[in-house]
């Protein structure tokens, strides 16, 4: 591909865009907070409309935020059972309150590490708690 890029016009446009939006690779925590606020504002405007023009900016800003988080906000490695235990505590649930997992005994085995969550259970937990199924992997 031998596309011509008009750098003479691109750079002034980029400078103006950058000054108006602050959208650029995130270098520090303060800029990260501004980009998260920008992302939230864009999502509020676009809603769930995937064809909304703001969604392209959501993708760009989301990638910048994700890149910064991956290198600066590293989460400790956990198991799905840890996430389940945390969410149960947050929601005031007992082992018997999760019929989508099985009996109280099954939930106990999952929490103690004697049994792994299966795909059906992981999907059900994601839906119940409104989180990504990846939370429980």
| Residue 47 pLDDT | 85
| Residue 1 pLDDT | 54
**Chunked in runs of 10, what are the mean pLDDT values of the chain (137 residues)?**
84 95 95 94 89 94 91 80 93 95 95 93 92 86
CB within 8 A of 97, min separation 6: which ones? 88
- Check if the beta carbon of residue 74 is closer than 8 Å to that of residue 47: no
Checking phi first, is residue 130 left (phi over 0); if not, alpha (psi -120 to 50) or beta?
Answer: left
| Residue 70 pLDDT | 85
| Residue 73 pLDDT | 79
């Amino acid at each position: 591909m031998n596309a011509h890029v008009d750098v003479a016009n691109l750079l002034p446009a980029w400078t103006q865009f950058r000054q108006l939006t602050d959208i650029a690779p995130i270098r520090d925590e303060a800029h990260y907070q501004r980009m998260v606020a920008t992302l939230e504002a864009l999502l509020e405007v676009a809603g769930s409309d995937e064809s909304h023009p703001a969604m392209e900016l959501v993708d760009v800003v989301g990638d910048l935020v994700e890149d910064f988080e991956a290198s600066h906000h590293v989460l400790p490695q956990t198991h799905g059972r840890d996430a389940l235990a945390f969410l149960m505590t947050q929601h005031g649930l007992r082992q018997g309150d999760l019929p989508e997992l099985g009996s109280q005994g099954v939930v106990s085995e999952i929490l103690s590490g004697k049994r792994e969550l299966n795909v059906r259970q992981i999907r059900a937990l994601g839906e119940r708690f409104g989180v990504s199924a990846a939370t429980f992997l």
